[in-house]
Amino acid sequence: MNILISGVGGPTPRSIARSIKISKYADEAKMFGTDVNPLAYGLYENGLYEETRLIPYAGKEGYWEALKAYIKENDISCAMVHPEHEVLAWSKLKKDGGEWPCKTLLPDYDVVKVLVDKGAMTDILEGTGLVPESFLIDPKNLNFEELEQTLPYPFWIRSTSGSSGLGSLKVEDRDSLKNWITINPGVTEFIASTYLPGRNLACKLLYYNGELLRSACGERVNYIMAKVAPSGITGNTSYGRLLNEPKLVDAAVKAMELIFEATGAPKHGFFTADFKEDAEGKPYITEINVRMVAFNYSFAKGGANFSEDIVRLMNEDASFDRNYKMYEFEPGTIFLRDVDAEPILMKEEELIQAL
């Protein structure tokens, strides 16, 4: 079985590939990688991939030609597509009546288009109690009085697109907001939201042909290289918890039902809903990713191997249990991660206590 992993320079595709290496397909799966950056570490991980190739950026001239040729040359049967620009390109191809060069499991284009734009997602979920009070900011045309009447300081701000906490900061006053906009000239639109001081949670949902099949929950506690980001959030978790929280799943499912209804799209694809809790412990959705996230491998090592699930579905594995299942973990299970290192799973009580 030959599997394409796209965007191998990022931590999420590496996490996916490693998850497949500990799945039921460990012996038979051969993985092939692509990336747009010649300096991408993953392009040179010979122990993980059979072969890798540099290709044009999705949406640019030559992308599909190069990708189709690579898939044909290596007899690739299915793809794990995860950089957002590629998810958009693949889903758009299908919406326009084109054919994918191999099997993959992706949401409908209209769902993808909404979820990669946090402002569009917030508009759909506004008034449901699922998202915090928010305000879209055009850096070139910002009415400070209107913003401050909607959201008192402090509030949270970040880019409406992108990942890894792009443009994120706890804003304390007008001057700090002005300065933050100035030093982030590449962000064309921000979204400001009620500041939520509680836990940072994630809920993973796997839909297939109209049915929710799998879910799992976790918590991001600390981040890799947190000191380099003013917000302390880099988007890459260094310390987290594997959780059993069915109420969080219920909230994520409710949000997805509204997204599917608003777009008229089928319930299909893998999603990671991010939540932040307020001071009372009520969770609010801050974004919903149209892909897995970097600590996917930690979930796989804990028994929730979504990469294996997706490959089984793409290969129409008759033995795959299509009944819904929320993955459950041993209470107190945590994971520790670092750059280029295998994650460690252990009990939280085993953490070395500071003297």
Greatest Cα pair distance, the chain, in angstroms, is 63
pLDDT exceeds 80 at position 87: yes
d(CA 315, CA 322): 14
CATH number, domain at 185? 3.30.1490.20
The pTM assigned to this predicted structure is 0.92
| Residue 246: band (very low, low, confident or very high) from pLDDT cuts 50, 70, 90 | very high
In a domain, 117, yes or no: no
Domain end, chosen from 174, 194, 214, is at 194
Answer yes or no: do 245 and 310 share one domain: yes
Residue 321 has pLDDT above 90, yes or no: yes
For residues 261 and 288, membership in a common domain is answered with: yes
Segment 196-236, tens digit of pLDDT: 999 999 999 999 999 999 999 999 999 876 666 666 666 68
Q: pLDDT digit string (tens) for 158-200?
A: 888 866 566 688 899 999 999 999 988 888 899 999 999 999 9
What's the CA gap between 156 and 104, in Å, rounded?
A: 35
Supply the angle between the helices 11-21 and 306-314 in degrees, to the nearest 10: 70
Task: Name the residue range of residue 236's domain.
Answer: 200-350
Identify whether 109 is part of a domain. no
- The verdict on 335 and 205 lying in the same domain is yes
- Asked if the model's pLDDT at residue 355 lies above 70, the reply is no
